[in-house]
Amino acid sequence: MTSTLHVDSVTKDFGSVRAVEDVSFTVDEGKFVTLLGPSGCGKTTTLRMIAGFETPTEGRVRLGDHDITMEEPYLRPTSMVFQSYALFPHKTVGENVGFGLKMRDVPADERSDRIAKMLDLIELPGIEDRGIDELSGGQQQRVALARALITEPEVLLLDEPLGALDLKLRKNMQVELKNLQEELGITFVYVTHDQEEALTMSDEIIILNEGEIEQRGTPTEIYESPRTRFVADFIGDTNLLDGTYVENGNAAIVECGSVDVPIDSLSAATDGQSLSVSIRPEKIALGDGAGNGNGNSVTLRGEVEDVIYQGNVAKVHVTIDGTELVLEQQVIDTVNLPTPGSECTISWDQENTNVLTG
Ligand SMILES: Nc1ncnc2c1ncn2[C@@H]1O[C@H](COP(=O)(O)OP(=O)(O)O)[C@@H](O)[C@H]1O
Ligand SMILES: [Mg+2]
């Protein structure tokens, strides 16, 4: 039996506030899918409806053929890890981790065995009798994870579980969590507002904006081929140019102020329509000839406005008759950085121009 998670046309209103609007997605068994979006876009509410802490105003939640929309949280084969950990402060580590088993009337002997196994899994063996306040933030996070996993959920729901950790620990935990997920083969639905975290960990990313899905795809698809202005802007740095579509036989351009950006002609666009394009800074090179000779190269002449040295890379701001583009250059040798005020040629492979349709 496969237990694909189905979120079907789910809407959630809190009074007059629509937190989630007609959201549908599926997550195949054993996949790591991340809901990514800015604060307030409906991530937590979506997760809480899957967990059963909120009831959808409209729509259904299913696991395989099993409709769980109205089922009590503790009866669902789901488990949730909260950003705040939500550990019981006056219970020991062992009591916290074993809580879900006690709720399910698992006998004390079996409970102890399974608690010990979980503490091994999170690499904190033998700390059953410690108090929660004796643990560091990172350790508390692991205990919260163990508490969620001990009931052997089919779907683990994680709401910004690394949000309270400092950067270095967070990066380590990202890798550990991803490894653990692969080892256990459990479906993970992960929530974060941190795009780098989402790109690092996920099989697929679902971008939410104001309660609605903007785009779903693999990290590569989301980063390399954003389809909307929102996604292009939210994920990574980019050059966003707003312009007008002008058809020219098989080819076309988007007139963006002083810059004409050539694109393939679009059957879905009409002459004179407003359109935006996005080009990632690291896709633009100084000099001509970007694109390995395969695709069409876009070449423009401009002036170096500013060079911002960032250690491994430098951001080079170039103006083309008043329109600014930023390109990113690997710093192999600081001597070769361009000089502000100098004339320059920039180029990129036309394939790296993303036409944004929404
Ligand atoms: N219990 C609630 N009562 C009223 N409004 C809520 C409640 N929970 C969330 N909201 C509102 O719903 C929207 C989405 O919230 P949330 O799902 O927490 O977003 P996110 O997790 O993406 O930051 C926000 O506008 C928030 O203020
Ligand atoms: Mg939230």
- What CATH number is given to the structural domain containing 133? 3.40.50.300
For residue 294, the model assigns a pLDDT of 63
How many independent structural domains does the chain possess?
Answer: 2
**Ligand 1 centroid vs 86 CA: distance in angstroms?**
18
Same domain, 159 and 265: no
Give the residue from 348, 357, 291, 354 showing the smallest Cα distance to 320: 348
Which residue is listed with tokens 């800074």? Answer: 281
* Residue of 17, 83, 189, 191 with the most ligand 1 atoms within 8 Å of its CB, for mutation: 17
Same domain, 258 and 351: yes
Distances (CA, A) of 130 to 125, 135, 146, 331: 11, 8, 15, 49
Say if residue 86's pLDDT is above 80.
yes
Confidence at residue 23, expressed as pLDDT on a 0 to 100 scale: 98
Task: List pLDDT tens digits, range 24-81.
Answer: 999 999 999 999 999 999 999 999 999 999 999 999 999 999 999 999 998 899 999 9
- Same-domain check for residues 260 and 346: yes
Judge whether residue 292 has pLDDT over 70: no
List, for residues 316-341, the tens digit of each pLDDT value.
999 999 999 999 999 988 878 899 99
**201-231, pLDDT tens digit by residue?**
999 999 999 999 999 999 999 999 999 999 9
Specify whether 54 is located in the same domain as 197.
yes
Q: How confident is the model at residue 17 (pLDDT cuts 50, 70, 90)?
A: very high
Residue 79's nearest CA partner among 149, 180, 183, 6 is: 149
Band the pLDDT of 268: cuts 50, 70, 90.
confident
Mutational pocket test of ligand 1: of 20, 45, 57, 84, the residue with most ligand atoms within 8 Å of the beta carbon = 45
Q: What is the pLDDT of residue 108?
A: 95
Give the number of the atom of ligand 1 that is nearest the alpha carbon of residue 48: 17
Final residue belonging to a domain, choices 205, 233, 261: 233
Instruction: Give the atom of ligand 1 at the shortest distance from the alpha carbon of 47.
Output: 17
Domain that holds residue 301: 237-356
Counting DSSP H helices and E strands in the chain, the numbers are: 9, 20
What's the CA-to-centroid distance between 283 and ligand 1, angstroms?
A: 37
Q: Whose CA is nearest to atom 13 of ligand 1?
A: 19
Q: What is the pLDDT of residue 70?
A: 96
Together in a domain, 19 and 137: yes
Domain match, 217 and 298 both: no
Tell me which DSSP letter residue 300 carries.
E
The percent of residues in the chain predicted with pLDDT above 90, rounded, is: 81
CATH assignment of the domain containing 347: 2.40.50.100
Task: Show which of 190, 214, 233 is a domain's final residue.
Answer: 233
Question: Are 322 and 305 within 8 A, CB to CB?
Answer: no
Do 211 and 324 lie in one domain? The reply is: no
Q: Is the pLDDT of residue 142 over 80?
A: yes
Smallest CA separation from ligand 1 atom 25, residue:
40
